[in-house]
Structure 1
Amino acid sequence: MRGLTVVVVAPDPDRFRAALTLACAAAALGGRTRVYLHEGAVALLAMDGSAPAGLPNLTELRAVAIESGVELIACQTGLALAGLAADDAMVAAGGMIDLLATLADDRLVTL
Structure 2
Amino acid sequence: MRGLTVLVAAADPARFHAALSLAAAQAALGGRARIYLHGESVGLLGPAAEDARYAGAGMPGIAELRTEVAALGVSIIACQSGFVLAGLSHGDVAPDVEAGGLIGLLSDLGEDRLVVV
TM-score, scaled to structure 1 = 0.93
Deviation at 1:58, TM superposition (A): 1.1
Q: Could you tell me which residue of structure 2 aligns to residue 75 of structure 1?
A: 79
Q: Is 1:103 aligned to residue 109 of structure 2?
A: yes
> 1:64-94, CA deviations, whole angstroms, 9 ceiling, x for partnerless residues?
1111111000000001221223357310000
> Aligned residue pairs: how many?
111
Unaligned runs of 5+ in 2: none
Shift of 1:61: 1.1
Where in structure 1 are there 5+ consecutive unaligned residues? none
How many angstroms apart in 2 are the aligned matches of 1:61 and 1:17? 8
What fraction of aligned residue pairs are identical, expressed as a percent?
53
> For 1:24-103, what aligned pairs fall within 5 Å after superposition?
24-48=24-48, 49-50=50-51, 51-53=54-56, 54-86=58-90, 89-103=95-109
Aligned partner of 2:5 in structure 1 is 5
Tell me which stretches of 4 or more aligned residues in structure 1 moved more than 6 Å: none
Compute the RMSD of aligned alpha carbons. 1.4
Counting helix residues as a fraction of each chain, which structure ranks higher? Answer: 2
